[in-house]
A and B are shown apart, each in its own frame.
Chain A
Amino acid sequence: MRVSRWLADRWVMIVALLVLGYLALPILVVAGLSFNRPSSRLSYDFNEFTLDNWRQPCATSDMCDAVVRSVQIGFVATVVATVLGTLMAFALVRHRFRGRSGINVLIFLPMATPELVMGTSLLALFVSAGVPQGFWTIVIAHVMFCVSFVVVTVKARLAGMDRRLEEAAMDLYASEWQTFRRITLPLVLPGIVAAALLAFSLSFDDFIITNFNAGTTVTFPMYVWGAAQRGIPPQVNVIGTAMFVIALLLVGLSSLRGRRARRANLLTGPAQPRPTRRPS
């Protein structure tokens, strides 16, 4: 009985690790190919080890232009979407008002609609309104599909916040604005930062919606799509690997900070009132 239980436990874990391997395999391949000198432009096979791609990531200059453009679009779209979404989250968590369920549907729908439908419908709008497509139509589209994700992320943080901290500040004669700046904002900030990072990564990696609204503007995913037909320069894998490493470092840093803060709390006692503790 005990032996079969042991086996059953391991069986699930072994399958899980194999599935994780399946998920990790393409990343390893991308990292490997970033050190590859392909035998021909259309070859996807590993040929010869080289460091050239990392030494000269911008050897094909259109690719780096596309990366820069993606970062610019991602930055503008993230700032706008984060501001709009945070305001909406505050309204939804902190206020009662008529039309709330309608707003919730409006926020939910873009997340449930296939990207293809959002992309083609925006294209239909821009064409019928005679708007020339390019940088700004991409930004408009990206803000549109990022806002909902920002609202959901910030809302979760706001809903889990202890309101008594704000009430305490007000009791101590802080003005409304002081309370917001010194108490509310610092407490919600991690949620806002997480939402902004999510929005940036959604924007930077979007292909389908961008493809329909880009005109002749080329973002990084659109460059890769076009290059897939003409032959992929190996530097694309350098960008892919670098993105992965940067994202991993960000995650590592944030978890390290969280752990250090917790340890400091354990050693010196909580410096601030703990929001989770309830008076009994």
Chain B
Amino acid sequence: MTLLAPTGSGQAPPAPPAARSGRHRLLPYLLLLPGAAWLLIFFGVPLVQLAAASLYDPSGSLSTGYALTWAFGNYPDVVQAYWPQFLRSFGYAGLALVLALLLGYPLAYAIAQKAGRWKNLLLVCVVAPMFTSFLVRTLAWKTILSDNGALVGLLRDVHLLAPDGRLLATPFAVVLGLTYNFLPFLVLPLYASLERLDYRLLEAATDLYASPVQAFRRVTLPLSMPGLVAGTLLFFIPASGDYINAELLGTPNEYMIGNVIDSAFLVRLDYPQGAALSFLLMAAILAVVFGYLRRAGTEEVL
């Protein structure tokens, strides 16, 4: 019985044989041990190591070794040096989020409420981009937005773009890439919420003389809130930490904080600076997330 024993709602199981109860109590811990140990050693400990590295003496180097001098000055230093990239990260990710909401909400709503027997097919279409490589997909945008491409040609012809105007290597390209890459993460939880929406509630609202806009604001939107909050977070967290779109579709003028961290660790080999920036990024994201959760007022997400 040990492996499969149903133990109900926290009450002691009805007097198991004495010899077995010891094994029974230990079993969950044995099952958890390898996985939990892996996560502790390779996720938990590294975070502590990163915190320590952010307080290393900044005058050290990889070859001479670093000394932990509790150099809290690293933090103000990196903020002073890189606050534009920080602002840009959150600005771009925020803009991309607004765009993704405008595109993703109608999509999720249409699949959940209007698609009928095509529902599963459309869902596959939403996740289909993730079937191929992230980097290869992002590079495809280089072709689409290229100066010689059809899109730029069309926009120049209708004078939406100056004759020498470009799309590639602009903030627009980076935001477009971010929106594209993380849109499925927003749509899927939103779809899950909207799918459970009872259409009769909307009919009731209409019967009570609500306009379509009112019905959306007072019925659909509140009921989709859990999915909206979850989707927003799943979109915003990776988008603000991303640097692939800025590197491939932008120029150093569009660099986000991820680009700076990447070069601090892999090019400049300035570990204290890179570690301080990583920690600040995590703190900033956590602050945004918790502030947002408090305002959205849905605690059930966590």
Contacts and interface: CB of A to CB of B under 8 A. Distances in A.
Interface in A251-279: 251, 255
A115 B279 CA distance: 12
Contact of B35 (A85, A207, A237, A251): A85
Given A12-B114, A106-B44, A117-B50, A29 B180 contact: no
A95 B6 CA distance: 7
A15 B107 contact: yes
Contact of B43 (A26, A114, A144): A144
A140 B115 CA distance: 42
B158 interface: no
Nearest to B183: A23
Interface in A57-96: 83-85, 87-88, 90-92, 94-96
Contact of A116 (B35, B44, B241): B241
A245 to B, nearest CB: 8
B15 interface: no
B144 A29 contact: yes
A25 B144 contact: yes
Interface stretch (B71-79, B126-134, B159-167): B126-134
A92 B7 CA distance: 12
Contact of A84 (B6, B34, B46, B281): B34
Contacts of A27: 128-129, 132, 137, 140
B109 A201 contact: no
B4 A166 contact: yes
B31 A91 contact: yes
A191 interface: no
Given A27-B128, A87-B31, A124-B49, A143 B133 contact: no
A128 B136 CA distance: 34
B111 interface: yes
B198 interface: no
B128 A23 contact: yes
Given A124-B275, A207-B135, A236-B136, A44 B241 contact: no
Interface residues of B, number: 91
Contacts of B98: none
Contacts of B141: 26
Interface in B219-274: 233, 237-238, 240-241, 243-244, 247-248, 258, 261-262, 265-266, 271, 274
Contacts of B237: 112, 114
A107 B32 CA distance: 11
A103 B32 contact: yes
Given A95-B27, A97-B29, A244 B144 contact: no
Nearest to B9: A96
Contact of B53 (A128, A163, A211, A255): A128
A9 interface: yes
B128 A103 contact: no
Interface string B9-41: 010000000000000010111011011101110
A120 B128 contact: no
B148 interface: yes
Contacts of B104: 19
B271 A237 contact: no
A228 B212 CA distance: 48
Nearest to A114: B241
B43 A109 contact: yes
Given A26-B140, A141-B42, A228 B135 contact: yes
Interface string A239-255: 11101100110010001
A172 interface: no
A121 B4 contact: no
Given A85-B35, A88-B32, A114-B285, A124 B53 contact: yes
Contacts of A143: 38, 42
Contact of A117 (B128, B142, B278): B278
Contacts of A30: 132, 136-137, 140
Contacts of A90: 3, 31
B105 to A, nearest CB: 9
A152 interface: no
A248 B131 contact: yes
A244 B261 contact: no
B139 A228 contact: yes
Q: Which 9 A-B pairs have the closest CB atoms?
A: A114-B241, A16-B110, A247-B131, A121-B46, A95-B28, A240-B136, A26-B140, A91-B31, A121-B50
11 contacts: A23-B129, A45-B148, A95-B31, A120-B278, A221-B133, A224-B133, A224-B135, A239-B136, A240-B136, A243-B131, A243-B133
